[in-house]
Amino acid sequence: MTTLTFPLSRIEGHARVEIEVREGQVISTRFQAMEKRGFNLMVQGVPAEQMPVIVPRICGVCSTAHHVAAVKALEDAYGVEPPPLANQIRELLLLGQLIQNQATSLFVFTMPDRLGVQSIFHITDEEADTAAQFNIAKRALMVRQLGTDLITLAGGQFIHPVKAVVGGVSGGIDAEKADAFRKRLRAALPVACELVDYYWEISLHMKDRIGTWGDDQPAYYISSTERDNPRYNSSIIRVMTPAGECCREFTADAFRKELIFEETDYSYAGRTSYQGGVIRANSLARANMTRRMGIRRADAYMRRLRSEFGHPAHPILLFDLCRGIELVYAIELASQLLEDDYSHNEVDIPYTPRDGEGWGLVEAPRGPLIHHYVIEKGNIAMGEFIIPTVHNMLAIERALRVAAERYIHDDQVNLELEQAVGRVVRAFDPCIACATH
């Protein structure tokens, strides 16, 4: 038995891939989360109302989703319904995270795979291409900055937002600041579209180069966004069959009844399945499960996706194209939402803390994120975090096996395998920092 080990880069957190081979045959592929975080233990005994400022520390990238999910779990336990304006501000906060995350994943993590380089900041040594290289990197970082600044506008600060509170939000958005930011979003939209168009084209060229879009076998899909005009401050989880039909809808508190969750003996991250079938979450799941985005440019990209790849689309490298669609969607939707006035009216309501059980759900960039708390004597007796990446674990390992069988033959390993392993994992944009609880 030979074990091939591949450490991973350009992902969030620490993980590696192990492929076991015997006499030229792939025996197993394992995706290993190597760090133990233990936030479920750290929060035991913590005053419940402190959770929204503690859980963003789970991850510097996913902090926004954890912040909002924590507030919603406490609201569920306390029986609180925030006012509509507060929910709208929370939606803007989550759109900021979507912009920031999708720009990071597309341009910092996966664009180098398309170009056959290690970084977008070192694309070529040819002097003639230096200006073009700098222009791509500069525009990519500018678009990413929009997301971080929108999180600051709606959430009070970027890495660990503070503005979502039980009962609503701690304050509105100044009308002058909202108008100025809306103008920034509109100015950046054509730039984002140009970057997504370029990414789409180099993706097509990469497929021609390596001869595959990766694992293209059908899977179940899971999302908590709506079928039309998707929003990320969500309430219902939906499951789609491999044939493209919505087969199940359930609330966060039914998670363990509807999905099979299991631990493994080789990774600190768990995994889920639906009736024993492989699940995929994240951008491709949302694209497959959305009928229309309700935004002109994003809907045009969706029509192109379905024209070129069918519906539902299954090849895993399409995750990245769908992130591009969502990047455009989030910028244009945020621009539209900021036309409303967030500086007046009711942004929170009073509440009375109480013991009990609460569930909080949001659609994070990687899929449905659930926080589950049991509160006793005002403190957290049990905190559970169901991370979107766990829904992709089986799908990642299946896709890794497809790649391994493509590049391993008769005890000979094609050197493309190492690149393929990175492409497979980064297609799913896993967050290992969040998933190890």
pLDDT attached to residue 370: 98
Q: Give the annotated binding-site residues for Ni(2+).
A: 59, 431
257 contacts 272 by C-beta, under 8 angstroms: no
List pLDDT tens digits, range 419-430.
999 999 999 999
In the predicted model, what is the mean pLDDT of the chain?
Answer: 94
Question: Taking 80 as the threshold, does the pLDDT of residue 299 lie above it?
Answer: yes
pLDDT-derived band at 132, boundaries 50, 70, 90: low
List pLDDT tens digits, range 389-410.
999 999 999 999 999 999 998 8
- The three-class DSSP label of residue 98 is helix
Written as one letter, the residue type at 194 is: E
pLDDT attached to residue 361: 98
pLDDT-derived band at 37, boundaries 50, 70, 90: confident
pTM value?
Answer: 0.96
Strands 279-280 and 220-223: parallel
Region of residue 278 (phi > 0: left; psi between -120 and 50: alpha; otherwise: beta): beta
Q: Residue length, the chain? A: 437
Question: Taking 90 as the threshold, does the pLDDT of residue 117 lie above it?
Answer: no
Averaged over 12-38, what is the pLDDT? 92
Q: Give the annotated binding-site residues for Mg(2+).
A: 62, 437
156 contacts 173 by C-beta, under 8 angstroms: no
Q: Give the annotated binding-site residues.
A: 59, 62, 431, 434, 437
pLDDT attached to residue 391: 97
Question: Taking 70 as the threshold, does the pLDDT of residue 214 lie above it?
Answer: yes
pLDDT-derived band at 121, boundaries 50, 70, 90: confident
Q: Give the annotated binding-site residues for Fe cation.
A: 434
Taken in order of first residue, the domains within the chain and their CATH numbers are: 2-435 (1.10.645.10)
The residue that leads in pLDDT, 434 or 74, is 74
Averaged over 239-261, what is the pLDDT? 97
Q: Which of 399, 187, 383 is nearest to 284 (CA)?
A: 399
